[in-house]
Structure 1
Amino acid sequence: MEALAFTFVYITISLLLFSSSSSLSSTAQSTNDTDTLLRFLSQTDPHGNLLTNWTTVDACSGQWLGVRCTGDRVTSLYLPFLDLRGPIDSLSKLDQIRLLDLHGNRLNGTILPITTLSNLKLLYLSGNDFSGEIPDDIGVLKRLRRLDISDNNLRGPISKGVLNLTRLLTLRLQNNLLSGVLPDLSVALPGLRDLNVSNNEFYGKVPEGLQRRFGDGSFAGNAKLCGSSPLQVCSFTADAKPISLPETPIINREKGHDHVSRKGLSFGAIVAIVVGNSVVLLVITSFVVAFYCGRYSRDGDSNSKSKASNNGKKVHASNGGGGERDGTTATDDRSKLVFFDRRKQFELDDLLRASAEMLGKGSLGTVYKAVLEDGCMVAVKRLKDANPCARKEFEQYMDVIGKLRHPNIVRFRAYYYAKEEKLLVYDYLPNGSLHSLLHGSRGPGRIPLDWTTRISLVLGAARGLARIHEEYKASKLPHGNVKSSNVLLDKNGVACISDFGLALLLNPIHVAARLGGYRAPEQMETKRLSQKADVYSFGVLLLEVLTGRAPSQYPNSPTRLRGEEEEQAVDLPKWVRSVVRDEWTAEVFDPELLRYKNIEEELVAMLHVGLACVVQQAEKRPTMFEVAKMIEELRVEQSPLGEDLDESRNSLSPSLATTEDYSLVSH
């Protein structure tokens, strides 16, 4: 009996010790994850201005911004668009993390540290400053489903490790400096649904199955890629770089001897060749004489002309037509396309030869879709009413707005200036505008724009606008033309703000008039553009999304304005306020939205955000950073993240981490 009692006590003590050991181990792991994140904080936000609530002793306390845990281990880190700077080396110890979303920051270094995160399923690092190559060790991330490392400075080929990610659904590599021959990813990654390798330096033949499966847009902007139409026809071996053959006579190899082929040359042909060569020699001699005579007859005029600087951004074209600046005649370097980065440059002649399709006319000019000979598609805006702007001021201003890069801002690639012609070149976004989605084809047979897509699009637009305001906080540079037709959708349905800063090229009086229903009240008097006026315009856009009414589409019933004798239709914000004031809130919302269940609270919350943006007093409006935060916190779209993903997912919904189901991260 005593032996039995002793055995029972022994087992009990052992269980207690094991439980205590497990608890200590678990606490240690939690502490380790907290220490890891604190090291990351010290490297990327040393002044603590961005992650201000990372102050408690436990990262899994539920209070840390962007941190989610399962039990006491960090399984999700979501910190987009926070302007974090520095390397991510310290994150290599988060071995239980499933979701890592750091897109839209200014992080740098290599992406090698992520290769130790063996449980990673979703990785979003786009829009940063990462460099180096894609490491082969990335192949150990066997659970990875989505990989987005676009819009960085990555070089080298697609590594062999990527081919080992057999469960990959999304692979986005666009807007880097990657090179080499494209492997047949359709074979290596059978489950791949979303591929984009555009705007890199790949060469060789695109595998037929790959091009057929993902379309030409996935490969655009790689000048040396070839394949089926509309890509250039392959005239070289797929496994080697294209080679420019020298213009020399054809060499035949017969019996070990080299000789020029002369088959079929008659006496008359030989005489014609001799005469032709003599004429050509005479013409060349005349040009040489004329050149030297003209050169020495000038009185040194060429020395007074300014020499254009070659800073790596200008692409020379044969077209002239420059114009004047500062009273001097245009030099040979005038009237060229000026690019803002080294990637995918082309000459003005290439643009002029491109097939063009008019996409529409706006308040600032006409927009065309241009397809270059290599298959690259760009959008070209032909400005109007900007002719009075002097060249020097125009170029300086283009340099200011052209340097901004953000996933929710349409990429401004290049511009062209001539006295009577000004062209702006942007990335082409194929899915139209928010305005067309909201108001196009209203009536029977229309596919409704669902609430999930609407909130995703306004969130993207808010982030893009917030980045503009933050980047130019000191100079208070506004967007100047915020409206639903300037919210465009890229290939993946991500919302991007277009026409940033162009309104400042025009007379402010004309711009204010063109804003129509998006114009802030103070602009009636001041006729000035401002960041606070941008917030008002964005608020009108939110009300437009909620009500389904365009700002110029007012209700039929007139309302008498205080202090005025005649009746006139009220604008959209005033109409919304009147309905809300009379407690008819449900009447405000677009009937298309009322068919969806369990979103009433979200609709009302978004309505409050919109009304906060359109208050009459400019100083009482929130900043765009605050607006973006309010929308982001309002709702996180629920979509699958586990092993079985929803096949019927809306094609316009961006596959960003904000659209993922965090409740499944722990699976």
Structure 2
Amino acid sequence: MHNPHLLPLAFALAFSFLTLSLCVPNDTDALTRFRLQTDAHGLLESNWSGSNACAASWRGVRCSSNNRRVVVLSLPSLNLRGPLDSLAPLDQLRLLDLHNNRLNGTVSPLTNCTNLKLLYLSRNDLSGEIPPDISSIKSLLRLDLSDNNLRGPIPKDLSQLNQLLTLRLQNNALSGTIPDLSASLVNLKELNLTSNELYGRLPDGLLRKFGDKSFSGNEGLCGSSPLPVCSFTGTPPAVASTQTVPSNPSSLPQAPVTSQGKGGSRKGLGTGAIVAIVIANCVALLVVVSFIVAHYCARDRSFSGSLAGSESGKRRRRSASSYGGSEKKVYANNGGGDSSDGTNATDRSKLVFFDRKNKFELEDLLRASAEMLGKGSLGTVYKAVLDDGCTMAVKRLKDANPCERKEFEQYMDVIGKLKHPNIVRFRAYYYAKEEKLLVYDYLPNGSLHSLLHGNRGPGRIPLDWTTRISLVLGAARGLAKIHEEYSASKIPHGNVKSSNVLLDKNGVACVSDFGLSLLLNSVHAVARLGGYRAPEQAETKRLSQKADVYSFGVLLLEVLTGKAPSQYPSPTRPRVDEEEQGVDLPKWVRSVVKEEWTAEVFDQELLRYKNIEEELVSMLHVGLACVVPQPEKRPTMAEVAKMIEDIRVEQSPLGEDYDESRNSLSPSLATTEDGLA
């Protein structure tokens, strides 16, 4: 028999539960709306299913410990297109990483997400102004809105974000003066406002703390040295210079007209004077035309200044004045009309850029000081430092004419449109009959090859396991993106090796040299490119995505063993310190594993770490799966990246025990600029 006194209590509990359920925002609905608005390619459709995002493992979504609210949304580089409006209800978000997509609209909807700590929205198509209400996100540590179309002023309200560590607003169209943030943002460690339209006096506190390089590309700025002196009292020069002369001649000031009424005298010019004036004008016109022709001929010839010459085997910086003589030169075609390579008079000396920001002229590149970084099978790479301090990597192709101009430009477009955090950014190219230049972002921290093999011996700093696995994961993701982007045309990387895995300023692994194999026919590409070759290529003489997988497997074994693939230990007595020509690295590893000497495989530097044996063996199996002789049995690069992720899932600093006092994030998670996936 039911107790009548328990009925009111039961009703109260049920009402409370219902009320609580109704009060909790439905994050799943918000995410579903976001997918419907932005995921035109359906990349999330198969995974983002079910009625509860927190109960299932939705891609890029992480929830709080009680699985009630979404705290992380990380979906970089998925070609998402659409607005951010549907994310406004996610007011418990702590990390939002949507960089390198094609999202549009304004940032304003995110001002409702007041618990955000990390906000990464770089490389999108966001527009409008930075909303002053962004100051309501009091816990914000890192804000990256770079490489968008944001306009208007930098709001002074940013000074209220006193926990901010990073502020990146470069490569937008922001205008107005820069507010003095130095007094309030005492924790700010990184500030980048380059390549905007800012003007006026730069606060001395910001200049002293961050240096002028954080503000370059804003021609209207002035202030303390090394900036121009602020000599204006009214409108800043950058604003005044935008005033234009009216295009309508009738609106221009007219010369005074002399009245010729009655009583006025009028003296006419004689015939001889008129003839003399006409002759003088013709002579003057001929002189002016001669100077103009001479100027442009000299200008064309000036483009033949050497980009970077260097003596064989030496790495040294040269100033522009030292270029010349017997050094190789950058040529432009002289004479009018179209040249034999299809380069017309207007295009012959221009760099072709893939981004609207950070453009510069060919003359700037030729004046740059240059240092040879290395020589490869397709050309020589130089580090070029422009006059404004911007640093680029410039590859000069070894062959003057690897292919016809039209074909070359098509290949460059293929390479240039690919953008991913783990692929070196291709910025521009230059085409002339005698010279081809490729311009990339300069990555300052060397290559995976130098980290693995450089300075082996006393004094070497070991490459730890966490860093190794982070770098190979970044490289795997970069290759997976290439294979995915060009899955229909089956375009491979074609030159996978550890020296083509470079590290950016944050230690993120980026794959370089993608697409250069397109410039060669398949036989020459296999013969000349220095990547790790798959066994089938000896017969087919062709590059392929499956061969890329094999090359990556060799790279993975190189990371595990610490041995360069050119070293061949004996299979009969597989000790690391003995070498014998004739057996490649995959065969040696298989022979060691077959003889159950697995511990002999791994780099001695790795054996010092505790509790990673299982991870080492699992990673070894991934490498061996990649280097199976039969191409059809190899996994795809997407599957390889997933296998590596499953072996070692790094704990994000955004867990429940996150320490808000930390000034930096884990450097081991090298998947975005700040190391967050």
**Structure 1 residue aligned with 2:17, among 18, 23, 31?**
23
In structure 2, the CA distance between the partners of 1:479 and 1:153, relative to structure 1 (3 Å rule), is farther
Q: What does 1:579-590 align with in structure 2 at a 5 Å threshold?
A: 579-590=592-603
SS at match of 1:61: coil
Give the structure 2 partner of residue 320 of structure 1.
332
1:165 aligns with 2:161: yes
SS at match of 2:63: strand
**Equivalents in 1 of 2:184, 2:487: separation in Å?**
47
SS at match of 2:477: helix
Task: Identify which range, 418-427 or 597-606, moves more after superposition.
Answer: 597-606
Q: What does 1:367-386 align with in structure 2 at a 5 Å threshold?
A: 367-386=381-400
1:95 aligns with 2:91: yes
CA deviations 1:305-355 (Å, max 9, x no partner) are: xxxxxxxxxxxxx97326975677843432321112221222111111111
Identity of aligned residues (%): 68
CA deviations 1:208-251 (Å, max 9, x no partner) are: 5545544666455556667888x7655766993448999xxxxx
Structure 1 counterpart of 2:85, one-letter code: D
In structure 2, the CA distance between the partners of 1:102 and 1:210, relative to structure 1 (3 Å rule), is same
Task: Identify which range, 577-586 or 91-100, moves more after superposition.
Answer: 577-586
Q: Is the 8 A contact 1:115 1:138 kept in 2?
A: yes
What's the TM-score once normalised by structure 2's chain length? 0.77
1:390 aligns with 2:390: no
1:56 aligns with 2:50: yes
SS at match of 2:183: helix
**Structure 2 residue aligned with 1:572, among 577, 585, 600?**
585
Give the structure 2 partner of residue 300 of structure 1.
none
Give the structure 2 partner of residue 124 of structure 1.
120
Give the structure 2 partner of residue 485 of structure 1.
499
Give the structure 2 partner of residue 108 of structure 1.
104
Q: Is the 8 A contact 2:196 2:218 kept in 1?
A: yes
**Equivalents in 2 of 1:111, 1:632: separation in Å?**
31
Give the structure 2 partner of residue 621 of structure 1.
634
In structure 2, the CA distance between the partners of 1:572 and 1:658, relative to structure 1 (3 Å rule), is farther
Q: Is the 8 A contact 2:172 2:195 kept in 1?
A: yes
Q: Is the 8 A contact 2:124 2:147 kept in 1?
A: yes
- CA drift at 1:177: 3.8
SS at match of 1:425: strand
Task: Identify which range, 541-550 or 103-112, moves more after superposition.
Answer: 103-112
- CA drift at 1:382: 0.9
Q: Is the 8 A contact 1:102 1:124 kept in 2?
A: yes
**Equivalents in 2 of 1:43, 1:504: separation in Å?**
36
- CA drift at 1:486: 1.5
SS at match of 2:156: coil
1:606 aligns with 2:600: no
Give the structure 1 partner of residue 651 of structure 2.
638
Q: What does 1:143-542 align with in structure 2 at a 5 Å threshold?
A: 143-203=139-199, 207=203, 209-210=205-206, 213-214=209-210, 218-219=214-215, 240-242=236-238, 284-287=284-287, 320-321=332-333, 330-516=344-530, 518-542=532-556
Q: Is the 8 A contact 1:322 1:330 kept in 2?
A: no
Structure 2 counterpart of 1:494, one-letter code: V
SS at match of 1:465: helix
**Equivalents in 2 of 1:37, 1:327: separation in Å?**
52
CA deviations 1:90-138 (Å, max 9, x no partner) are: 1110112222222333333222221101111222223333233322211
Q: Is the 8 A contact 1:203 1:226 kept in 2?
A: yes
- CA drift at 1:38: 1.9
In structure 2, the CA distance between the partners of 1:653 and 1:436, relative to structure 1 (3 Å rule), is farther
Q: Is the 8 A contact 1:124 1:657 kept in 2?
A: no
In structure 2, the CA distance between the partners of 1:597 and 1:30, relative to structure 1 (3 Å rule), is farther
Give the structure 2 partner of residue 69 of structure 1.
63
**Equivalents in 2 of 1:293, 1:348: separation in Å?**
20
SS at match of 1:426: strand
Structure 1 counterpart of 2:105, one-letter code: G
How many residue pairs were aligned? 590
What's the TM-score once normalised by structure 1's chain length? 0.78
**Equivalents in 2 of 1:404, 1:607: separation in Å?**
30
SS at match of 2:88: helix
**Equivalents in 1 of 2:207, 2:507: separation in Å?**
20
Which of the pair has the greater relative contact order for Cα pairs under 8 Å at 6+ separation? Answer: 1
- CA drift at 1:540: 1.7
- CA drift at 1:33: 1.7
- CA drift at 1:384: 0.5
CA deviations 1:432-488 (Å, max 9, x no partner) are: 222222222222222222222222222222222222222222222222212221122
**Equivalents in 1 of 2:292, 2:644: separation in Å?**
70
Q: Is the 8 A contact 1:154 1:178 kept in 2?
A: yes
Q: Is the 8 A contact 1:222 1:344 kept in 2?
A: no
Q: Which structure 1 residue ranges, 5 or more long, are not aligned?
A: 1-7, 247-279, 295-317, 561-566, 662-667
Task: Identify which range, 584-593 or 155-164, moves more after superposition.
Answer: 155-164
Q: Is the 8 A contact 1:67 1:77 kept in 2?
A: yes
- CA drift at 1:184: 4.1
**Equivalents in 1 of 2:536, 2:671: separation in Å?**
39
**Equivalents in 2 of 1:581, 1:484: separation in Å?**
26
**Structure 1 residue aligned with 2:610, among 588, 591, 597?**
597
**Equivalents in 2 of 1:228, 1:539: separation in Å?**
54
- CA drift at 1:61: 0.9
Structure 2 counterpart of 1:34, one-letter code: T
Q: Is the 8 A contact 1:226 1:232 kept in 2?
A: yes
**Equivalents in 1 of 2:548, 2:215: separation in Å?**
36
**Equivalents in 1 of 2:201, 2:604: separation in Å?**
50
In structure 2, the CA distance between the partners of 1:507 and 1:145, relative to structure 1 (3 Å rule), is same
Task: Identify which range, 27-36 or 236-245, moves more after superposition.
Answer: 236-245
